[in-house]
Amino acid sequence: MDHVTTLSEFIIRNQQDFPFASGELTRLLNDISIAAKIVNREVNKAGLVNILGDAGSINVHGEEVKKLDEFADQQFIAALKAGGQVCAVGSEENENIIRIDTPVSKNARYVIALDPLDGSTNIDVNVSIGTIFSVYRRISLSGPGTDEDFLQPGTEQVAAGYIIYGSSTMLVYTTGKGVNGFTLDPSIGEFCLSHPQIKIPVNGNIYSVNQGHFAHFPDGVKQYIKNCQEEDKESGRPYTLRYIGSLVADFHRNLIKGGIFIYPSTAQSPKGKLRLLYECNPLAWVVEQAGGKASNGSKRILDLQPRSLHQRTPYFAGSQEMVEAAEEFMLKYSPAEKIA
């Protein structure tokens, strides 16, 4: 078997791409991979240990917190605190940022926004779930991180990616030099390079949307979905609908095969359901680095100026030509959907 490239080797080999990095980002990515292995171990035996089901609490979004949500949140925060490379963590599971004040961390150069466990409703039914992360250089000068360290547009990210706990466990990330995927080899406990330089097909025939909200979709989305369902041999329509309710899993499938993921504004979520900082921005950078696009239906996601940690946005992400087609329908049928 030829030599496998582990994540650690890959990061160190590419470290010279960061003119100013003195290894902190390398160590931070390593800390993330350690937490991912611990969460993976629990996900893989969730049915056997008392980690399924509800934690009996409601999070800031009014959503039922699952035990695995809490477990993942704790594991990532503990690994990041121990690693000493971030001065604050913004997590879906915590209303406010977690400012890290330990001697080794409080002057750290980075902050990280996290969705520790994405696809929570799928935990108890053995469907793929994930973790999403987004890393910024701090803008505050020193001491524990502050809110404004997180309120930077997605263009300022220095690293972003996700872990998908599925039929295999993969870590997929970018630091601005393309997108690389690493598959966990449990026999050696290492993430090994399995998908170098991932590129999303410029067009595709998969669309991912929760049809259940159709009645409340903007007209532009309704028209785009109808267009996906029309018979047209030349363009390969009707497209295939694939939606499993875990953003990371739907996104990853479309990244590899081509497709579009849409979570628009709905009656329940007038500004969209997905959170800009720790779901939309990191995946937007990954998909752009892979040659795709991500917008809110009219504006590039990475250009949006965040105003709050848990801010939501409508989300259209995937193959360039599919996102552009959806944006044309939005312009034509829902011009007023100008979410700032």
Looking only at residues 90 through 149 of this chain, which bind ligand AHG when binding is defined by CB under 6 A? 92, 115, 118-120
Is 250 among the residues that bind Mn ion (CB under 5 A)? no
Is 238 among the residues that bind ligand AHG (CB under 6 A)? no
Looking only at residues 87 through 106 of this chain, which bind Mn ion when binding is defined by CB under 5 A? 92
CA 246 from centroid of its chain's CA atoms: 10
Looking only at residues 107 through 126 of this chain, which bind Mn ion when binding is defined by CB under 5 A? 115, 117-118
Is 32 among the residues that bind ligand AHG (CB under 6 A)? no
| Alpha carbon distance 180, 56 (integer Å) | 37
Q: What Rg do the C-alpha atoms of the chain give, in angstroms?
A: 19
Residue with tokens 């694939």: 242
CA 51 from centroid of its chain's CA atoms: 23
Q: Which is nearer to Mn ion, 108 or 117 (CB)?
A: 117
10 Å Cβ neighbour count for 19?
A: 5
| Alpha carbon distance 253, 166 (integer Å) | 11
Report yes or no: 298 and 260 within 8 Å, Cβ to Cβ: no
Choose the contact partner of 205 out of Mn ion, ligand AHG, none; CB within 5 to 8 A by kind.
none
CA geometry: angle at 186 spanning 32 and 286, to 5°?
Answer: 40
Per-residue contact track with ligand AHG, 257 to 296, x per CB under 6 A? ----------------x-----------------------
Which tokens hold the place of 326?
A: 């959806």
Is 210 among the residues that bind ligand AHG (CB under 6 A)? yes
Choose the contact partner of 253 out of ligand AHG, Mn ion, none; CB within 5 to 8 A by kind.
none
Residue of 137, 245, 298, 328 interacting with ligand AHG (CB under 6 A): 245
- Work out whether the CA dihedral 302, 235, 256, 15 comes out positive or negative: negative
Is 70 among the residues that bind Mn ion (CB under 5 A)? no
Chain positions contacting ligand AHG, by CB under 6 A = 92, 115, 118-120, 210, 245-247, 273
Chain positions contacting Mn ion, by CB under 5 A = 92, 115, 117-118
